[in-house]
């Protein structure tokens, strides 16, 4: 196995350069002339059972979990988006063209994000140097506003996660620490070359307050649905009280304009901490037009990136929200990973998820605070950390994940070797082999009972490829660019030129 020392300085410099470029972009956005008024166009995360009922629900009844469309339909959609629309986002055409050109250049090295939950702001701040040293580019932290539920009320480290029952959006002194602590966290993250994404909860408020809060009262909420009984009914999903949480009326109330202005002020307060982006909570429970006409334009005004939680296995459904101007966590891919990495059919990975259709806006993940990981945990990460998109790695126990040598190596491979379009070389029930064009060849075998060998084509001729996984030996392609890839039982290999 080739050691990492020869590229460690390059990794650090790449991360610092990315941070510098992102800071320049933020300054340009915040100092620009564009202004969007707070009211003009321009989840709870606590109960897996209720969320599971929503899988596959929504607009596209024909689409199954994992976005199961016909091959022809999926192929046409992916080709169209990847070729013409992939780089288009709310950041503007010129910047998008530059981003697209950078993708096409197949330069090695891509970012990975770290979900840093279940800790106080000072604790996270103390550990950010470790997160940066492991090679991550950003951290996502919990919602900072004053919320119900304290550490002592949890039934476990993540039962329920804190921050998802808001009481006052104007106060950032919370169970995690003071507003000053939060600003210190952001400052230290930037000093380490890390971005900070802050959870932003705009669908609902906390239970048990009889619709009375410091800045909201009865008329500011939807009252026409009650609990959500039909997860395929958009009106119920958008107006119902998710897990009994009072549903803010962004529309269809006499005070909806006021509600929207309060939410825009909440977004401004998060941006004022110096954070780099939002993770929008419970996206599908708020009208789509709110994201298109208000939240995403406001994020643009503030120079903030955003990733939405669109909890659905329907690819078309998730893409609908991406098209409002946000990135999205790749739930359609997650529901495939959940099956594949329980010794399931590896061929299902080919073409799966938002990442296959719109990798420019996809954030694949193996596990988060709502969803558990499949039993073949490391195999799932081997895929997520070498596919396209920007992966998010979850830290239920941060010292455990940050000290996991296998995951750390995968992050290093991503930061140093990944790049270029994903090209499938082989997909069968137990073995997946794919190439990140001209950069990295990956093999994953989920069969616990034996190794698998497959001869595949590559982009390299008469080229020795070093093993960067530590699980196999080096290989050499022939004059046609073909090579035998052998993957040990329930393991993975990463091959790239030295």
Residue 407's nearest CA partner among 424, 383, 371 is: 383
- Give the percent of the chain with pLDDT over 90: 78
Burial code of 357-389, b = ≥16 C-beta within 10 A, e = fewer? bbbbbbbbbbbbbbbebbebbbbbbbbbbbbbb
Pairing relationship of beta strands 195-200 and 277-280 according to DSSP bridges: parallel
Sheet holding 362-363, edge to edge: 362-363, 327-329, 305-308, 277-280, 195-200, 138-141, 113-115, 392-394
pLDDT of residue 108: 75
110 by DSSP, 3-state: which? coil
Reply yes or no on whether the pLDDT at 335 is more than 80: yes
Cα dihedral 158/216/259/254 (nearest 10): 140
Host domain of residue 133 = 5-91+111-405
Asked, for residue 74, whether it belongs to a domain, the answer is yes
Task: Give the span between the Cα atoms of 442 and 91, in whole angstroms.
Answer: 32
CB 226 within 8 A of CB 247: no
Strand ranges in 206-304 using DSSP code E only, listed in sequence order: 277-280
Number of structural domains in the chain: 1
| pTM for this model (two decimals) | 0.83
Reply yes or no on whether the pLDDT at 244 is more than 50: yes
Burial classification of residue 3, based on how many CB atoms lie within 10 Å of its CB (0-12 exposed, 13-18 middle, 19 or more buried): exposed
Write out pLDDT tens, residues 170-205. Answer: 999 999 999 999 999 999 999 999 999 999 999 999
Asked, for residue 422, whether it belongs to a domain, the answer is no
DSSP string for residues in 68-104: ---HHHHHHHHHHIIIIITT--TT-HHHHHHHHHHHH
pLDDT of residue 33: 41
Q: What is the mean pLDDT of the chain?
A: 85
Domain with residue 170: its CATH number is 3.20.20.80
Asked, for residue 100, whether it belongs to a domain, the answer is no
pLDDT of residue 18: 52
Asked, for residue 413, whether it belongs to a domain, the answer is no
Write out pLDDT tens, residues 23-82. Answer: 555 455 445 443 333 333 333 343 333 333 333 333 233 333 333 333 333 333 333 333
Average pLDDT over residues 451-456: 98
Residue 4's nearest CA partner among 193, 133, 139 is: 133
Task: Give the span between the Cα atoms of 407 and 413, in whole angstroms.
Answer: 10
Please state which of the ranges 19-23, 51-55, 241-245, 402-406 shows the lowest mean pLDDT: 51-55
Give me the residues paired with residue 251 across strands. none
CB 51 within 8 A of CB 277: no
Average pLDDT over residues 427-448: 98
pLDDT of residue 311: 98
Reply yes or no on whether the pLDDT at 102 is more than 70: no
Asked, for residue 451, whether it belongs to a domain, the answer is no
Asked, for residue 426, whether it belongs to a domain, the answer is no
Task: Give the span between the Cα atoms of 479 and 261, in whole angstroms.
Answer: 64
Asked, for residue 50, whether it belongs to a domain, the answer is yes
Q: How far is CA 119 from the centre of its chain?
A: 20
Q: How far is CA 448 from CA 120, 142, 429, 453, in A?
A: 39, 37, 13, 14
pLDDT of residue 459: 97
Contacts of 480 (CB under 8 A, 6+ apart): 457, 461
């Amino acid at each position: 196995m080739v050691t990492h020392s020869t590229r460690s300085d390059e990794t650090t410099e790449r991360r610092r350069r990315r941070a510098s470029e992102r800071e320049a972009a933020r300054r340009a956005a915040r100092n620009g002339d564009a202004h969007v008024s707070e009211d003009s166009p321009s989840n709870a995360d606590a109960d897996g059972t209720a969320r599971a009922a929503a899988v596959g629900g929504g607009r596209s009844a024909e689409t199954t979990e994992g976005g199961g469309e016909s091959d022809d339909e999926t192929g046409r959609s992916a080709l169209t988006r990847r070729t013409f629309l992939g780089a288009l986002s709310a950041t503007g055409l010129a910047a998008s063209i530059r981003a697209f050109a950078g993708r096409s250049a197949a330069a090695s090295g891509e970012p990975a994000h770290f979900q840093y939950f279940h800790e106080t702001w000072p604790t996270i701040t103390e550990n950010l140097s470790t997160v940066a040293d492991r090679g991550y580019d950003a951290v996502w932290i919990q919602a900072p506003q004053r919320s119900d539920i304290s550490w002592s009320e949890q039934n476990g480290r993540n039962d329920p996660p804190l921050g998802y029952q808001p009481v006052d959006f104007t106060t950032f002194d919370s169970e995690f620490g003071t507003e000053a602590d939060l600003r210190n966290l952001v400052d230290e993250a930037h000093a380490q070359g890390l971005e900070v994404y802050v959870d932003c909860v705009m669908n609902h408020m906390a239970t048990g307050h009889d619709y009375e809060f410091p800045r909201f009262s009865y008329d500011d909420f939807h009252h026409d649905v009650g609990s959500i009984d039909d997860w395929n009914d958009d009106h119920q999903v958008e107006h119902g009280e998710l897990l009994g949480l009072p549903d803010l009326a962004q529309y269809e109330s006499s005070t909806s304009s006021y509600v929207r202005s309060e939410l825009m002020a909440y977004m401004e307060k998060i941006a004022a901490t110096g954070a780099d982006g939002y993770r929008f909570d419970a996206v599908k429970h708020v009208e789509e037009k709110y994201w298109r006409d208000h939240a995403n334009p406001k994020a643009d005004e503030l120079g903030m990136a955003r990733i939405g939680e669109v909890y659905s296995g329907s690819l078309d459904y998730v893409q609908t929200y991406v098209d409002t101007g946000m990135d999205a966590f790749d739930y359609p891919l997650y529901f495939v990973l959940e099956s594949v990495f329980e010794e399931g059919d590896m061929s299902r990975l080919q073409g799966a998820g938002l990442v296959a259709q719109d990798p420019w806006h996809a954030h694949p993940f193996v596990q988060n605070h709502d969803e558990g990981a499949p039993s073949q945990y490391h195999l799932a990460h081997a895929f997520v950390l070498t596919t396209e998109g920007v992966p998010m790695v979850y830290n239920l126990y941060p010292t455990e994940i940050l000290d996991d040598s296998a995951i750390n190596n995968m992050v290093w491979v991503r930061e140093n070797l990944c790049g270029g379009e994903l090209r499938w070389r082989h997909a069968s029930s137990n073995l997946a082999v794919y190439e990140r064009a001209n950069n990295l060849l990956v093999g994953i075998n989920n069969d616990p009972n034996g190794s698998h060998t497959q001869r595949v084509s590559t982009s390299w001729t008469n080229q020795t490829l070093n093993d960067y996984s530590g699980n196999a030996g080096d290989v050499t392609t022939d004059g046609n660019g073909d090579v035998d890839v052998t993957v040990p039982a329930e393991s993975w290999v990463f091959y790239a030129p030295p």
